[in-house]
Structure 1
Amino acid sequence: MNTYEVWVQWNEWDDPWCRQTVQGETAGKAKYSFWEYLQDGLWEEPFGEVVKKLRCRKIGGFKVSDLFTSPVTFREVCERRAIDFAYQGMKIEVNGQPGVIVGANNSMNLDVCFDGRYYAENCHPWWKTKYFDRKGNLIKEFND
Protein backbone atom coordinates (compact mmCIF):
# COMPACT_ATOMS: atom_id res chain seq x y z
CA MET A 1 0.00 0.00 0.00
CA ASN A 2 1.31 3.43 -0.93
CA THR A 3 0.37 7.02 -0.30
CA TYR A 4 -0.41 9.18 -3.33
CA GLU A 5 -1.29 12.81 -3.90
CA VAL A 6 -4.10 12.97 -6.48
CA TRP A 7 -5.61 16.07 -8.08
CA VAL A 8 -7.62 17.30 -11.06
CA GLN A 9 -5.68 19.06 -13.84
CA TRP A 10 -7.87 20.36 -16.69
CA ASN A 11 -4.88 21.04 -18.93
CA GLU A 12 -1.16 21.68 -18.53
CA TRP A 13 -1.64 25.42 -17.82
CA ASP A 14 -4.42 25.20 -15.23
CA ASP A 15 -3.81 25.24 -11.53
CA PRO A 16 -4.40 21.88 -9.82
CA TRP A 17 -7.85 21.49 -8.27
CA CYS A 18 -9.04 19.47 -5.28
CA ARG A 19 -5.79 17.91 -4.05
CA GLN A 20 -6.18 14.87 -1.80
CA THR A 21 -3.86 12.40 -0.14
CA VAL A 22 -5.06 8.87 -0.92
CA GLN A 23 -3.84 5.38 -0.02
CA GLY A 24 -3.81 2.72 -2.71
CA GLU A 25 -1.94 -0.37 -3.87
CA THR A 26 -1.31 1.27 -7.26
CA ALA A 27 -1.65 4.73 -8.78
CA GLY A 28 -4.71 3.50 -10.70
CA LYS A 29 -6.42 2.34 -7.53
CA ALA A 30 -5.61 5.65 -5.85
CA LYS A 31 -7.18 7.52 -8.79
CA TYR A 32 -10.28 5.31 -8.59
CA SER A 33 -10.61 5.98 -4.86
CA PHE A 34 -10.30 9.70 -5.56
CA TRP A 35 -12.97 9.43 -8.28
CA GLU A 36 -15.32 7.80 -5.75
CA TYR A 37 -14.72 10.79 -3.47
CA LEU A 38 -15.54 13.19 -6.33
CA GLN A 39 -18.83 11.35 -7.02
CA ASP A 40 -20.24 12.70 -3.77
CA GLY A 41 -21.67 15.75 -5.52
CA LEU A 42 -18.37 17.33 -6.63
CA TRP A 43 -18.09 15.85 -10.12
CA GLU A 44 -20.49 13.17 -11.29
CA GLU A 45 -19.14 11.73 -14.53
CA PRO A 46 -18.04 8.21 -15.47
CA PHE A 47 -14.57 7.15 -14.34
CA GLY A 48 -13.41 6.82 -17.95
CA GLU A 49 -14.00 10.54 -18.49
CA VAL A 50 -12.70 11.79 -15.15
CA VAL A 51 -9.48 9.72 -15.19
CA LYS A 52 -8.27 11.72 -18.22
CA LYS A 53 -8.05 14.80 -15.99
CA LEU A 54 -6.55 13.14 -12.91
CA ARG A 55 -2.89 13.42 -12.01
CA CYS A 56 -1.18 11.30 -9.41
CA ARG A 57 2.15 11.47 -7.58
CA LYS A 58 3.50 8.85 -5.19
CA ILE A 59 4.39 10.41 -1.85
CA GLY A 60 5.63 7.28 -0.12
CA GLY A 61 4.91 3.81 1.11
CA PHE A 62 2.05 3.26 3.52
CA LYS A 63 2.74 3.84 7.21
CA VAL A 64 0.21 3.25 9.97
CA SER A 65 0.96 6.79 11.16
CA ASP A 66 -0.67 8.05 7.92
CA LEU A 67 -3.97 7.10 9.58
CA PHE A 68 -3.37 8.95 12.87
CA THR A 69 -6.29 11.19 13.82
CA SER A 70 -6.47 14.28 16.03
CA PRO A 71 -4.38 13.88 19.20
CA VAL A 72 -6.80 16.16 21.06
CA THR A 73 -9.79 13.91 20.32
CA PHE A 74 -7.71 10.85 21.15
CA ARG A 75 -6.66 12.18 24.58
CA GLU A 76 -10.26 13.17 25.37
CA VAL A 77 -11.54 9.67 24.59
CA CYS A 78 -8.73 8.09 26.64
CA GLU A 79 -9.62 10.22 29.66
CA ARG A 80 -13.36 9.58 29.42
CA ARG A 81 -12.93 5.84 28.85
CA ALA A 82 -10.32 5.50 31.64
CA ILE A 83 -7.53 4.28 29.37
CA ASP A 84 -5.04 7.08 30.08
CA PHE A 85 -2.14 4.68 29.44
CA ALA A 86 -3.06 4.32 25.75
CA TYR A 87 -1.24 6.21 23.00
CA GLN A 88 -1.42 6.47 19.22
CA GLY A 89 0.78 3.76 17.75
CA MET A 90 0.18 1.39 20.69
CA LYS A 91 -0.15 -2.30 19.82
CA ILE A 92 -3.42 -3.87 20.91
CA GLU A 93 -5.42 -6.99 20.29
CA VAL A 94 -9.19 -6.89 19.81
CA ASN A 95 -11.05 -10.20 19.91
CA GLY A 96 -7.80 -12.00 19.10
CA GLN A 97 -6.85 -9.76 16.16
CA PRO A 98 -3.61 -7.74 16.50
CA GLY A 99 -3.57 -4.11 15.47
CA VAL A 100 -2.35 -0.60 16.22
CA ILE A 101 -4.28 2.31 17.74
CA VAL A 102 -4.35 5.15 15.21
CA GLY A 103 -6.79 7.46 16.98
CA ALA A 104 -10.26 7.88 18.37
CA ASN A 105 -13.61 9.03 17.05
CA ASN A 106 -16.76 10.91 18.08
CA SER A 107 -18.46 7.70 19.21
CA MET A 108 -15.91 7.59 22.07
CA ASN A 109 -14.26 4.51 20.56
CA LEU A 110 -10.76 3.79 19.27
CA ASP A 111 -9.73 3.75 15.64
CA VAL A 112 -7.60 0.65 15.10
CA CYS A 113 -5.63 -0.46 12.04
CA PHE A 114 -5.52 -4.25 12.17
CA ASP A 115 -2.50 -6.14 10.81
CA GLY A 116 -2.73 -6.67 7.06
CA ARG A 117 -5.30 -3.89 6.55
CA TYR A 118 -4.81 -0.32 5.36
CA TYR A 119 -7.72 1.44 7.02
CA ALA A 120 -8.92 2.19 10.55
CA GLU A 121 -11.83 0.36 12.18
CA ASN A 122 -14.08 1.54 15.01
CA CYS A 123 -13.45 -0.51 18.20
CA HIS A 124 -14.84 -0.20 21.71
CA PRO A 125 -11.85 0.18 24.07
CA TRP A 126 -13.18 -2.33 26.61
CA TRP A 127 -14.58 -5.10 24.39
CA LYS A 128 -12.25 -8.13 24.42
CA THR A 129 -9.22 -5.84 24.21
CA LYS A 130 -5.62 -6.33 25.29
CA TYR A 131 -3.15 -3.43 25.49
CA PHE A 132 0.61 -4.01 25.11
CA ASP A 133 3.62 -1.83 25.93
CA ARG A 134 6.49 -1.14 23.52
CA LYS A 135 8.23 -4.39 24.55
CA GLY A 136 5.12 -6.49 23.92
CA ASN A 137 4.18 -6.98 27.58
CA LEU A 138 0.48 -7.04 28.47
CA ILE A 139 -0.51 -3.83 30.31
CA LYS A 140 -4.28 -4.12 30.57
CA GLU A 141 -6.95 -6.56 29.47
CA PHE A 142 -10.71 -6.19 29.17
CA ASN A 143 -12.69 -9.41 28.67
CA ASP A 144 -16.18 -7.99 28.11
Structure 2
Amino acid sequence: MTIIRHPTNSAIFVGTPEEFDLAVEGEFSAAGHWIVSVNDVEQDLMCLEPEQAMREGERVFELNAQRFQEDMIRCRGIEFAHLGMMVEVNGEMGTIQGMNASANLDVLFTNQLKHGKHTHNCHPSWNVKYFDGNGILIAHFAENECVLRPERPAA
Protein backbone atom coordinates (compact mmCIF):
# COMPACT_ATOMS: atom_id res chain seq x y z
CA MET A 1 0.00 0.00 0.00
CA THR A 2 1.38 3.35 -1.02
CA ILE A 3 0.51 7.01 -0.49
CA ILE A 4 2.48 9.83 -2.13
CA ARG A 5 1.84 13.37 -0.91
CA HIS A 6 2.25 16.37 -3.19
CA PRO A 7 5.57 18.12 -2.40
CA THR A 8 4.07 21.62 -2.04
CA ASN A 9 0.29 21.19 -1.74
CA SER A 10 -0.88 19.16 1.27
CA ALA A 11 -4.41 19.00 -0.16
CA ILE A 12 -3.24 16.60 -2.91
CA PHE A 13 -2.10 13.01 -2.56
CA VAL A 14 -2.14 9.91 -4.72
CA GLY A 15 -2.45 6.31 -3.67
CA THR A 16 -2.94 2.80 -4.86
CA PRO A 17 -6.44 1.33 -5.05
CA GLU A 18 -5.86 -0.49 -1.75
CA GLU A 19 -5.59 2.88 -0.01
CA PHE A 20 -9.07 3.75 -1.26
CA ASP A 21 -10.59 0.30 -0.57
CA LEU A 22 -11.12 -0.47 -4.25
CA ALA A 23 -11.13 -3.92 -5.81
CA VAL A 24 -7.72 -5.12 -6.92
CA GLU A 25 -8.77 -8.58 -8.10
CA GLY A 26 -11.29 -9.99 -10.52
CA GLU A 27 -12.56 -8.99 -13.92
CA PHE A 28 -12.31 -5.24 -13.33
CA SER A 29 -9.04 -5.14 -11.42
CA ALA A 30 -7.69 -1.75 -10.36
CA ALA A 31 -4.23 -3.20 -9.68
CA GLY A 32 -1.38 -1.16 -11.14
CA HIS A 33 -3.39 2.06 -11.09
CA TRP A 34 -3.10 5.26 -9.09
CA ILE A 35 -5.93 7.35 -7.71
CA VAL A 36 -5.81 11.00 -6.68
CA SER A 37 -7.43 12.70 -3.70
CA VAL A 38 -7.91 16.47 -3.55
CA ASN A 39 -9.04 18.03 -0.25
CA ASP A 40 -9.83 14.52 1.02
CA VAL A 41 -12.18 13.84 -1.89
CA GLU A 42 -11.33 10.85 -4.04
CA GLN A 43 -11.49 11.82 -7.71
CA ASP A 44 -13.30 9.66 -10.26
CA LEU A 45 -10.28 8.76 -12.34
CA MET A 46 -7.47 6.24 -12.39
CA CYS A 47 -4.00 6.80 -13.78
CA LEU A 48 -1.28 4.36 -14.79
CA GLU A 49 1.57 6.35 -13.21
CA PRO A 50 1.72 8.27 -9.92
CA GLU A 51 3.12 11.32 -11.74
CA GLN A 52 0.10 11.38 -14.05
CA ALA A 53 -2.24 11.12 -11.04
CA MET A 54 -0.37 13.97 -9.33
CA ARG A 55 -0.75 16.18 -12.43
CA GLU A 56 -4.48 15.39 -12.51
CA GLY A 57 -4.67 16.32 -8.83
CA GLU A 58 -2.99 19.66 -9.55
CA ARG A 59 -5.44 20.30 -12.40
CA VAL A 60 -8.47 19.48 -10.24
CA PHE A 61 -7.13 21.60 -7.36
CA GLU A 62 -6.64 24.61 -9.66
CA LEU A 63 -10.16 24.27 -11.06
CA ASN A 64 -11.57 24.02 -7.52
CA ALA A 65 -9.48 27.01 -6.40
CA GLN A 66 -10.68 29.14 -9.30
CA ARG A 67 -14.31 28.17 -8.67
CA PHE A 68 -13.88 28.88 -4.94
CA GLN A 69 -12.58 32.40 -5.59
CA GLU A 70 -15.30 33.18 -8.14
CA ASP A 71 -18.03 31.94 -5.79
CA MET A 72 -16.56 33.78 -2.78
CA ILE A 73 -16.56 37.04 -4.72
CA ARG A 74 -20.06 36.49 -6.11
CA CYS A 75 -21.67 35.29 -2.86
CA ARG A 76 -19.74 37.13 -0.14
CA GLY A 77 -17.78 39.93 -1.84
CA ILE A 78 -14.52 38.52 -0.48
CA GLU A 79 -11.91 38.54 -3.21
CA PHE A 80 -8.79 37.76 -1.16
CA ALA A 81 -9.74 34.35 0.32
CA HIS A 82 -8.38 31.24 -1.36
CA LEU A 83 -8.11 27.50 -0.77
CA GLY A 84 -5.27 26.58 1.57
CA MET A 85 -5.26 30.02 3.20
CA MET A 86 -4.54 30.20 6.94
CA VAL A 87 -7.32 31.75 9.00
CA GLU A 88 -8.03 32.34 12.64
CA VAL A 89 -11.68 31.80 13.52
CA ASN A 90 -12.75 32.96 16.97
CA GLY A 91 -9.16 32.53 18.19
CA GLU A 92 -8.55 29.09 16.61
CA MET A 93 -6.10 28.60 13.70
CA GLY A 94 -7.14 26.62 10.65
CA THR A 95 -6.92 26.27 6.88
CA ILE A 96 -9.61 27.02 4.30
CA GLN A 97 -10.55 23.75 2.59
CA GLY A 98 -13.56 24.94 0.62
CA MET A 99 -16.92 26.65 0.66
CA ASN A 100 -20.25 25.02 1.45
CA ALA A 101 -23.73 25.54 0.01
CA SER A 102 -24.35 28.42 2.47
CA ALA A 103 -21.31 30.26 1.04
CA ASN A 104 -19.56 29.75 4.37
CA LEU A 105 -15.97 28.59 4.70
CA ASP A 106 -15.11 24.96 5.29
CA VAL A 107 -12.20 25.25 7.73
CA LEU A 108 -9.95 22.45 8.97
CA PHE A 109 -8.68 23.53 12.37
CA THR A 110 -5.06 22.98 13.36
CA ASN A 111 -5.97 21.63 16.80
CA GLN A 112 -7.53 18.36 15.67
CA LEU A 113 -7.60 16.98 19.21
CA LYS A 114 -10.08 19.72 20.07
CA HIS A 115 -11.95 20.08 16.75
CA GLY A 116 -11.57 16.66 15.11
CA LYS A 117 -10.26 15.84 11.65
CA HIS A 118 -13.28 17.16 9.75
CA THR A 119 -13.95 20.63 8.34
CA HIS A 120 -16.16 23.11 10.17
CA ASN A 121 -18.76 25.53 8.81
CA CYS A 122 -17.45 29.07 9.50
CA HIS A 123 -19.02 32.36 8.46
CA PRO A 124 -16.41 34.28 6.42
CA SER A 125 -16.94 37.55 8.27
CA TRP A 126 -17.61 36.46 11.86
CA ASN A 127 -14.51 36.76 14.05
CA VAL A 128 -12.16 35.74 11.25
CA LYS A 129 -8.60 36.82 10.53
CA TYR A 130 -7.06 35.99 7.15
CA PHE A 131 -3.29 35.51 6.71
CA ASP A 132 -1.16 35.56 3.57
CA GLY A 133 1.41 32.89 2.69
CA ASN A 134 3.99 34.58 4.95
CA GLY A 135 1.68 34.58 7.97
CA ILE A 136 0.96 38.31 7.76
CA LEU A 137 -2.54 39.45 8.68
CA ILE A 138 -4.26 40.81 5.56
CA ALA A 139 -7.92 40.93 6.63
CA HIS A 140 -9.85 40.91 9.87
CA PHE A 141 -13.56 40.74 10.59
CA ALA A 142 -14.79 41.10 14.18
CA GLU A 143 -18.47 40.44 14.95
CA ASN A 144 -19.29 40.85 11.23
CA GLU A 145 -17.58 44.26 11.11
CA CYS A 146 -14.64 44.73 8.76
CA VAL A 147 -11.61 45.87 10.76
CA LEU A 148 -9.01 45.38 8.00
CA ARG A 149 -9.09 44.18 4.42
CA PRO A 150 -6.88 44.53 1.36
CA GLU A 151 -7.71 47.38 -0.96
CA ARG A 152 -10.15 46.16 -3.57
CA PRO A 153 -8.98 46.19 -7.18
CA ALA A 154 -10.52 48.90 -9.34
CA ALA A 155 -13.59 47.66 -11.23
Query: TM-score normalised to the size of structure 2?
Result: 0.51
2:91 is aligned to 96
1:14 is aligned to 27
Deviation at 1:75, TM superposition (A): 1.6
CA RMSD of aligned residues (A): 3.1
Change (3 A) 1:124 1:77: farther
Say whether the 8 Å CA contact 1:6–1:21 is kept in structure 2: no
Counterpart of 1:122 in 2: which secondary structure? strand
Among all aligned residue pairs of Structure 1 and Structure 2, give the percentage whose two residues are the same amino acid: 39
AA aligned opposite 2:80: F
Counterpart of 2:21 in 1: which secondary structure? strand
Can you give the 5+ residue segments of structure 1 that lack an aligned partner in the other structure?
Answer: 23-58, 60-64
The number of equivalent residue pairs is 98
Counterpart of 2:94 in 1: which secondary structure? strand
1:31 is aligned to none
Query: TM-score normalised to the size of structure 1?
Result: 0.55
Say whether the 8 Å CA contact 2:86–2:96 is kept in structure 1: yes
1:6-64 C-alpha deviation (Å, 9 max, x unpaired): 2145xx433248xx878xxxxxxxxxxxxxxxxxxxxxxxxxxxxxxxxxxxx9xxxxx
AA aligned opposite 1:5: F
Q: Which has the higher contact order (CA 8 A, sep 6+)?
A: 1
Say whether the 8 Å CA contact 2:89–2:127 is kept in structure 1: yes
Say whether the 8 Å CA contact 2:83–2:96 is kept in structure 1: yes
Counterpart of 2:68 in 1: which secondary structure? helix
Q: Distance in 2 between matches of 1:90 and 1:15?
A: 40
Can you give the 5+ residue segments of structure 2 that lack an aligned partner in the other structure?
Answer: 4-12, 14-18, 38-49, 51-56, 144-155
